[in-house]
Amino acid sequence: MPPKRADEIDEKVGLPKIHVFGVPMDLGQQRRGVDMGPSAIRYAELHDTLINLGYTVRDHGNIRVPNAEEIRSRGRRSAGSYPRQGNAVFHMNAVVEVCTEIRDKVSKTVPVDDITICLGGDHSIALGTISAANMRNPRGVLWVDAHADFNTPETSPSGNAHGMPLAALFGDGAPEMIAVSAGHELSASQVVMIGLRSIDPQERLRLRNAGIAVFTMADIDEHGMAAIARQAIERLSVWDGLHVSLDMDALDPEAAPGVGTPERGGLTTREGHLLMELLAQSGLVRSMDLVEVNPIIDRQNTTAELAVELTASLFGQRTL
């Protein structure tokens, strides 16, 4: 469907402008392909979908991200060599550089009353996006993911940076990663996690000790998404808006087959939409990550299309 012309759109009073940034980064993991996520999501008509909801949308293009081969050709083996050595984080220097660029560009470019959507790329980009969101005023964070991403270099079995951004945002982990959010670290009361079902052993202990509100898939199965979503919104409503960090692997692989790290037993399409719809009703959402779409292993761009559909629900699309 072509986008509506400006004179065809029913104007919504006070509707903020949406700013879109692509971050084509797959350096936070060892499976290639999520660097093409921003292109796949754009191809699935994110821009036109938001326009048809009545928004003004500005796409700022992509943040510059080096690829793995480029890093190795520079001789930066300590940041990107394989196999892992000690507690090394693969490509850490490059990941930190990109996340710092995200933080600075978003915080300097987007007016405080506008909305930001960052397209990944792997979930390590959240180190930059959430730092930017939290810089002006502390913001609540809803982390929707199959994984906690709460490892440090010492606890990570893989050394992959996409399993560490939330820990770094709490000020825990590699000093280089912690520095991205220095002075704007998260507290436990700022974060709610939904959809977890695959957590590393040491990460599980760290998460329990951190005091973060966590709703696993077992909780959703037992209590239902509506009850869980309302609890999350109530907990986070005390903050100055919400940042939704949506990893598409939170969805079951039957619904979202093209993701960086698929895990069976995830959210159904309807559960995902219900969560987004209730968030839309809250009126609290100010920024969003949309990450881990991997077109290489997808089926006819199904996962990117679902990502766009969920984003539409988050920003007000409804049946009636």
Ordered domains of the chain (ranges, CATH): 12-314 (3.40.800.10)
- Res 42: pLDDT: 98
- Res 73: pLDDT: 61
The residues assigned a catalytic role are 123, 145, 147, 149, 162, 247, 249, 292
- Res 30: pLDDT: 82
Residue 80 has pLDDT above 60, yes or no: no
Higher pLDDT among residues 129 and 2, named by residue: 129
Strands (E), 200-300: 213-216, 242-247, 285-291
301-307 average pLDDT score:
98
> pLDDT class for 136, splitting at 50, 70, 90?
confident
Instruction: Please give the Cα distance from 14 to 16 (Å, whole number).
Output: 6
Instruction: Please give the Cα distance from 130 to 165 (Å, whole number).
Output: 10
Lowest mean pLDDT among 28-32, 140-144, 194-198, 285-289: 28-32
The vertex-311 CA angle with 300 and 144, nearest 5°, equals 95
Q: Average pLDDT of the chain?
A: 92
Instruction: Please give the Cα distance from 61 to 38 (Å, whole number).
Output: 9
- Res 70: pLDDT: 80
- Res 8: pLDDT: 41
What is the pTM assigned to this prediction?
A: 0.92
> pLDDT class for 10, splitting at 50, 70, 90?
very low
Condensed to tens digits (0 to 9), the pLDDT of residues 38-69 reads: 999 999 999 999 999 999 999 999 999 998 88
Neighbouring C-alpha atoms within 13 Å toward the C-beta of 152: 17
Residue 7 has pLDDT above 70, yes or no: no
